[in-house]
Amino acid sequence: MKPTPAASADTESPEQAALYKKVFRFSALGILVVTILLSLFSGINGDDEFQNDYSTKLVDYYLSFGAKTEALYIEKGNMHYYGGFFDLATGLVNRALGFDEMDIAYHNVRHIFNAIIGVLAMLFVGLLAKEIAGWRAGILAIWFIFLSPRFLGHSLMNPKDIPFAAGFAIATYYMVLLFKAMPRPSWKTALGVALGIALALATRAGGLLLFGYLGLFAAVDFLLKYILKKQEGAGQALVAYFSYGLAIAFTGYVLAILTWPAALANPIGHPLAALSEFSKLGVKIRVLFMGDNLLSDNTGWQYPLAWILKTVPLFTLVGFAGSLFLLPTILKRYNTTAVLLAYFATIFPVAYIIYKESILHDGWRHLMFIYPSMVVVAAVFWVTLESFFKEKKAALYVIWGFLGILAVDAALFIVRNPQYPYVYFNPIGGGIKGAFGNYETDYWGVSVRQAINWMEKEGIISPQMQDTVTLGTTFFYNVSRLTRERYHGKVKVKYVRFNTRHSESWDYGIFPSRFFRGAHLRSGNWPNSKTIHTIDANGVPLVAIEKDEKKYAYRGQLALSGGDFQDAITQFQNEVKEHPDNEVAWTSLSNAYLNMRQFQQALDAAQKALSVAPDAESALLYEGLALVNLGRKQEALSTFDRLTRVNEEYYAGYYYLGLVYESTQNYRAAFENAQKAIEANPGFKEAYLLAAQALEKLGDAENAARYREAAQKL
C-alpha cells in the first residue's frame, strides 16, 4: 500500500502547536533543573587545572584594566589560545563571592554555569528541529540530546567543548531564521547569529568556522531562491546578503575578542594562530584505542568515527543513518537550506579532521560541536517516518515502541550513573563493559569525587580528623582541590605515576583507570588485592581505592634507591607474598635481582610482573636484560622488540636491541636501532657510541667519527 503523504511542520493545527509548545517549554524547564542539580554532584574535570589558572589570570587582567598581563601568554596548557568567556564570567562570580579553587563552592559555580550553557545548547537544538519540522520534532530533539549521556555528562563539567557546541547550536538556528527572512530579517535574528558566533569563538578559535558556514549557506540560500526559483529582486537581495553577512561577522568577531586578552592584543594574528594550532590539535599523548595504547598522532583516520559510533545513543545513530534514506523527501518537504546546513554542520568537520589527519584524544569531545546538528537531523527523521503512517495506528505504535527501545539503554545509564554519564558506551560498543580495557572511560578522573565521598562516609577521612592521612593519586589536582580545605590540611596528597606508585609513601591510593595499559585492564588483575573499594559505572570500575598498610613495596624502593639490594629483595618478597598481583613490586624485585646478578630470579620476577600487567615496560626491559645475561639472545631480541612495539618512544629498548645485534655481529641492525634510540632521545650518549661502534665495524669511519664527536658534546 502506498504510504500516506507526510504532513509538513506547517500542517500542525493551532491547537496542536499550542499544546506542543507548552510541552516543549516544560521539557526545557525540567531539563534545566535536572541538569543543574546533577552538575552539583559532578567531580572536577582533570583539565580544570589549566582552566582555573586561566580564570584567575583573566580576572586579574580585566580588573587591573590590562596592567596584569599573565593572561596574554600561558605556557602550561596554552590557554591563551582559548577564548576567555566562560572562565572570565565564572572567575568574576567566584571572585565576587570570595571563593577560590580550594572551595567546592568554586567548582559548583563553574558546574552550574556549565550546566546552564549545556541546556542552552539543548534548547537551541530543539528550536532548530522545530523550525525545520515542527514542534513534535523540537520536543524529540531536546529530549534526544538530554538523554545523550556523553553530551549531558560533558554539560556538567566541561567548560571547553560545551560552550563551543552551544555557540554552534545558537548560530545555526539563527542562520536558518536569517536566511528564511532574507532579504529583510529582523535585527534580533541577525544579532542572534552574531551572539552564537561570539560564544563559539570566545571559547575556541574553531568558531571561525561559523564565518565560513554563514558565507557558504548565504550563497546556497541565494542560489536556491533567486537563481533556481528565479524570485524577483535578486540584485537587492544580493546586497542584503552581503551587508547582513558582513555586519554579523564583524559584530560576532568583536564580541568574541572582548573576553580574549591575547586576541585583543593582536585581533587578527592571534585568532588565526590559535586556529592553526587547534587544526593540528598538537597535544600528543598516549590514548587507549581499540585495545592498544597508542600515541594520539598514530590512531588512524577511523579514530573519531569509531568513538562516535560506539558512544552516540542508538536513537540518534539510527535516526541520522535513516535520514539518509529519506533525504530526497526531507529536502523536498522542509526548508532546504536548513536541512543542508544541519547535514553540513554534522559531516564536514569530521571529514575535514580525517582529511587533515588532525590529532585527537579523549574520544571525540573535540568534535562534540557536531552533535547538536546530528540530533536535529535524527529528530527530523523520526517525525518524518512517523508522518508516513499517521493514519496507521499499528504502524505508529511499532515506530514509537522501537524508538522507546532504542532510548532505554542511554536513559538507564544516566539514571544509574548520574555523576559521570559521560563515560557511556552504547550496545554497539558492547556497553562500558565491552569498552573496558579497549577504550578510555573516565579519562578526566571525574569519579575521584565519589571516591573521596566514600572514604569520608567510611570514616577514613573526616573534617574532624586529628591524624594525617596521605593519599597517593595519578590525579593530583582533582584530589587536592577536593580535600585541602575540607579536611583542614589533615589530608596530604601526593602525585604518583601508577607504574611507579610505590616510589612515594601513602596510606591510601586513589587511582582512576585513565593511565593504565589496556592489556593490564583486560587481564583481570585490576582492581588489585590492595583495593578496598571501587567506584563503578554499570559494574565497571572507574577508580580504585587502595590501602597500603605495611608499605613493604615503598621500603623496598628506598632500599633499591640506596643500593641495599638484599634488603630491597626482602621487602619486595614480603610485598608479593601478600599481594601477588602487585606488578610494581615484581618489577622492582627483578631490578634488585639484576643488581645482585641473580639473573634467573630476575627473569622469573619480571615474568611474574608481566603475567599481571602484560605490557609493563620496565618489566619487559628487565626480562630482556635477564635473558641477555643468561645467554638467551634470541629471546632477548624478541622481548626488546616487543618493548619498542608497546612504546615506540622507549629509547632504552632500541638501545638494548642494538647491543644484542652488535653482539651477534649484525652491525647494520645494531646501527639502525642505535639511530632509533637517538631519535627517541637525542640526549642519550650511549646510543651515539653504539652507533659509532657499529659504523666502524661496517667500515664507515667518517660517519662513525661524527657520532663519536656528537657523543663527546653530550
At residue 4, the pLDDT reads 37
Same domain for 278 and 145? Answer: yes
DSSP of 412-434? HHHHH-TT-GGG---GGGTHHHH
Q: Torsion angle, CA of 217/218/223/224, rounded to 10 degrees?
A: 70
Same domain for 513 and 378? Answer: no
> Given a cut of 50, is residue 438 above it in pLDDT?
yes
CB atoms within 10 A of CB 617: 18
Same domain for 378 and 481? Answer: no
| pLDDT, mean of residues 633-648 | 96
Q: Would you say how long the chain is, in residues?
A: 714
Q: How far is residue 410's CA from residue 418's CA, in Å, rounded to a whole number?
A: 11
Q: Tell me whether residue 131 is in a domain.
A: yes
At residue 229, the pLDDT reads 86
Residue pLDDT, tens place only, 356-368: 888 888 899 999 9
Same domain for 152 and 228? Answer: yes
Kindly report the CATH number assigned to the domain that includes residue 582. 1.25.40.10
Find, among 492, 490, 485, 489, the residue nearest to 101 by Cα. 485
CB atoms within 10 A of CB 699: 8
- Return all residues near 129 (Cβ < 8 A) that are at least 6 apart: 137, 138, 140, 141, 142, 375, 376, 379, 380
Residue 380 — very low, low, confident or very high, per pLDDT cuts 50/70/90?
very high
- Peptide linkage before 183 cis (omega within 30 of 0): yes
Find, among 648, 658, 671, 673, the residue nearest to 628 by Cα. 658
What letter represents residue 366's amino acid? H
What letter represents residue 633's amino acid? K
Query: Which residue stretches of 98-134 are H helix?
Result: 104-133
Q: Tell me whether residue 2 is in a domain.
A: no
Same domain for 81 and 95? Answer: yes
Number of domain units in the chain = 3
Question: Under DSSP, is residue 107 helix (H, G, I), strand (E, B) or coil?
Answer: helix
Same domain for 533 and 638? Answer: no
C-alpha cell at 650: 622507549
Report the mean per-residue pLDDT for the chain.
94
| pLDDT, mean of residues 245-273 | 95
Q: Tell me whether residue 1 is in a domain.
A: no
Q: Tell me whether residue 434 is in a domain.
A: no
Domain that holds residue 151: 9-421
Q: How far is residue 384's CA from residue 376's CA, in Å, rounded to a whole number?
A: 12
Residue pLDDT, tens place only, 455-471: 999 999 999 999 999 99
Burial of residue 397 (CB within 10 Å: 0-12, 13-18, 19+) is exposed
> Given a cut of 70, is residue 389 above it in pLDDT?
yes
Residue pLDDT, tens place only, 273-305: 888 776 655 567 899 999 999 988 888 899 999
| pLDDT, mean of residues 234-247 | 94
Same domain for 196 and 291? Answer: yes
Cβ(523)–Cβ(533) below 8 Å? no
Q: How far is residue 175's CA from residue 212's CA, in Å, rounded to a whole number?
A: 12
Residue with cell 667500515: 699
Q: Tell me whether residue 427 is in a domain.
A: no
Same domain for 496 and 632? Answer: no
Same domain for 651 and 523? Answer: no
Residue 192: how many CA atoms within 13 Å on its side-chain side? 18
Phi, psi of 470 (to 5 degrees): -105, 130
Same domain for 287 and 406? Answer: yes
Beta-bridge mates of residue 418 = none
Find, among 533, 484, 490, 481, the residue nearest to 510 by Cα. 533
At residue 2, the pLDDT reads 38
CB atoms within 10 A of CB 390: 14
C-alpha cell at 53: 589558572
Residue pLDDT, tens place only, 220-240: 999 999 998 888 889 999 999
Domain boundary among 547, 582, 599: 547
Q: Tell me whether residue 439 is in a domain.
A: no
Q: What is the pTM of this model?
A: 0.93
Q: Tell me whether residue 595 is in a domain.
A: yes
Same domain for 498 and 352? Answer: no
Q: Tell me whether residue 688 is in a domain.
A: yes
Q: How far is residue 258's CA from residue 268's CA, in Å, rounded to a whole number?
A: 13
Distance from first CA to last CA of the chain, Å, rounded?
82
Domain boundary among 521, 547, 573: 547
